[in-house]
Amino acid sequence: MTTTRSTSAPSHLGYTRVTVAAIVAVLFAGGVALGCGADDGDNGGAAGEGVNGDNGGATGEGVSLTYIPQVLEPINSAISCGVVRRAEELGADVTVEIPGSFDAGAQTRVVSAVLARNPDQLLIAPSDATAMSAPVLQASQSGIQVGTVLTELAESGVAPHYASSDYVEWGRVAAREMAEMLEGQEGPVAMLEFTPGQSSVPDDEAEGFEDEIAEFENLEYIGSEVVEFEPRSSTERMNALLAREPDLLGVFTTYPGSAVGAATAIRQRQAAGDVVHIAAGVDEAVLTALGNGAVDATVNTDFARMGELAAEAIIQAEGEAQTETELTPPFTITSENVDDPTVAATLTVGDECPE
């Protein structure tokens, strides 16, 4: 059985919602079952006779697992699908609790509500690496087995980080893709960077991009512009950047909302084709921008698989210490390969979870 709850739906996520239909439905009818490739009637086909059973390798029979994403948006929705799918395969009773907005306060309130229900396990994608350390530590001290996915906590030792991607490598991949597309042109490039210190994902992407872009002597990295979660912030910063640097050759944006905002400015200034725009992450608006040239490429990974790895790791850990983080590799999506079956299978665009 899978239960999904949404605590006060966000009025505006800042970009097009591209989520599994069942998750979107939660915004309007709380408590609906979320099926991500499994049949709620038989625990997703889990074949286990208990935690220590040896039938089919299932180890989660009778375990209650709660997953708290950052917010309702495509990346988190894909991870949710993976968590639900694998947890049900292992026989666990999984609940997804969705914060109403992307901030530590909203996510902390969800953690507090979860504490009152006292599940066996809590898996969370922290919305703020620093601010979420204390709430997760409180859950751990109450006897709940805790773990993180997607982003890790700033305070080490609070919770194992079960599954992620090498986001420093994401930044390096973005820099190499930008340099290749610029084909030896000489000039300035820049980055729109999400508020440093709030999330390890864009922080690591920024680090990787800055390190790698320095390897290309033809490109002058002129620094980053700090942007907020809403795309409007990135539109304003990108417009200002293009006005200040009319010869700008390229820009890297570290999350989908920023990519959408920057793409708007690029279209407004008719700079598509003149500025190489490399993004990180995917949603429907980013894919649209790929089609119209306002985004030239985006770096992504299989987030549903990341969710599966995290669910399996926390369920099978059975309270034991875990030191290794499972990593899903980054890859680049362009207008040329977006329809490739191996790429399409990783995208949460439409009514179904990625297969």
Residue type, 40: D
Percent of the chain with pLDDT over 90: 63
Helix (H, G, I), strand (E, B) or coil at 189: strand
pLDDT digits (tens, 9 = 90+) for 147-168: 999 998 988 889 999 999 999 9
Q: How far apart, in whole angstroms, are the C-alpha atoms of residue 171 and residue 298? A: 11
What pLDDT is recorded for position 18?
29
At residue 254, φ and ψ (nearest 5 deg) are -95, 0
Band (pLDDT 50/70/90 cuts) for residue 135 is very high
The residue behind tokens 């609070």 is 158
pLDDT digits (tens, 9 = 90+) for 80-128: 999 999 999 999 999 999 999 988 999 999 999 999 999 999 999 999 9
Q: Pick the more confident residue, 148 or 35.
A: 148
> Does 167-300 match 2-165+302-328 at the fold level?
yes
Contact 301, 346 (CB under 8 A): yes
Read off the pLDDT of each residue in 213-239 and give the average, rounded to a whole number.
94
The pTM for the full model equals: 0.79
Read off the pLDDT of each residue in 280-309 and give the average, rounded to a whole number.
94
Assign domain 167-300 one CATH number from 3.90.700.10, 3.40.50.2300, 3.30.565.10, 3.50.50.60: 3.40.50.2300
Domain locations in the chain as residue ranges: 2-165+302-328, 167-300
CATH fold label, 2-165+302-328: Rossmann fold (3.40.50)
- CA 105-107-109 angle, to 5 degrees, is 70
Reported for 331-335, long-range contacts at CB under 8 A and 24+ positions apart, including other chains, are 331/299, 331/300, 331/301, 332/173, 332/177, 332/297, 332/298, 332/299, 332/300, 333/282, 333/290, 333/297, 333/298, 333/299, 333/300, 334/290, 334/296, 334/297, 335/290, 335/291
Read off the pLDDT of each residue in 299-326 and give the average, rounded to a whole number.
86
